[in-house]
Structures are given as C-alpha cells and as structure tokens.
Amino acid sequence: MTDAKVYTPTRVPQGCSDAALHFQATVERCFPNEVLLYAEDVDTYCVKLCELFLLMNEFKFKLEHRNQAFFNDPVRHDPDRIAAHREMPLPSPAGVLQQFLCACNWMRDSSSSFAGHVQTLQKRLDVRLGKGIRTKRAANKLLVTFTTKE
C-alpha cells in the first residue's frame, strides 16, 4: 500500500510459485519494521494514521501487532538480560561458547561494535574448532581455555 497504489497478492512475477508468500516477502522488504507517516502537526498525523488503519481494514491487510509501537520512547536492550550475559562464567566446552555467541547475536543489529566485543571469544572458538566439524555435539568434546588477559 503506497500513496499511489494498493498492491494485491493476485499477481506473481515469473518464476515465483506462491502468490501469498511472494506478496508477504515483498511487503517485508518494503516495510521491514515500520510504516512512516509524515505530517506537519500531531492532529494531521492522527488523521493520517486513522486513514492508514481504515485502508488496512478495507483491504484486510494485517500487521504483526506484537512488534508495533505507537510512542516515542527509545528502544533499549533489557538491562537484566545484558547483566545476565555479563555474569555468566567463561564457557569451558567449545559447544557452550558456541551457544553463548549465538545467544548474544540478538544484540548484533543495535551494537555498532558488536564484532569487536565478541572478537576474542569468536577467535578462541575458531582456533579450537579449526577447520573440522562445527556442530554443537562435536564442539562439546573440546575444551576452551582463556588467559587472564582475555
């Protein structure tokens, strides 16, 4: 749905087999997390927001409501979750380190220096796993040691 046209999932480009899935993927590519409305003042914004909801209702277009926010509070990571990660002991088996790095990945998008923060852990894991199998089962058989500097 744009200011000029409402796209429907009835036509599919050549090579695509499922109209609904293609339409959903296109919408997600166009509007990854939000729909932006521009207005001069709050009253105009509310009118435009109401029009948007009416159009969505008219065309039976549904959004994932759990991911939507209609207020200006900045998004931050849960401090308890970050504190829990900081307080975890250094993982000894490589499989536990691998799982820890995967668990930390949820912060990747919002941290400009995420790779730098996990670089030591990732290097240690890569060295320990080498070029072998990287499954959790194989990694759990290998122990990882850290120096006091790390």
pLDDT digits (tens, 9 = 90+) for 68-105: 655 556 667 788 888 887 787 777 788 888 887 877 77
Residue 24: domain span: 1-74
57 three-class SS: helix
CA atoms of 1 and 6, how far apart (whole Å): 4
Q: pTM of the full predicted structure?
A: 0.39
Same domain for 2 and 62, yes or no, is: yes
Task: Count how many residues are written for the chain.
Answer: 150
- For residue range 32-81, list pLDDT tens digits in order: 555 667 778 888 888 888 888 888 788 777 766 666 655 556 667 788 88
Q: What number is the average pLDDT over the span 135-149?
A: 77
119 against 106, higher pLDDT:
119
Specify burial of residue 27 (Cβ count, 10 A radius: 0-12, 13-18, 19+): middle
Tokens of 128: 């320990």
Percent of the chain whose predicted confidence (pLDDT) is above 90: 0
Longest dimension (CA), the chain: 63
Question: Dihedral, CA atoms, 52, 56, 57, 61, nearest 10 degrees?
Answer: -160
Residue 1 has pLDDT above 60, yes or no: no
The verdict on 43 and 57 lying in the same domain is yes
Element of type H or E holding 102: helix 94-104
If asked whether residues 86 and 119 sit together in one domain, one would say yes
Residue 42 has what pLDDT? 85
**Domain assignment of residue 150, yes or no:** no
Number of domains comprising the chain: 2
Query: CB of 32 within 8 A of CB of 43?
Result: no
- Which pLDDT does position 68 carry in this prediction? 60
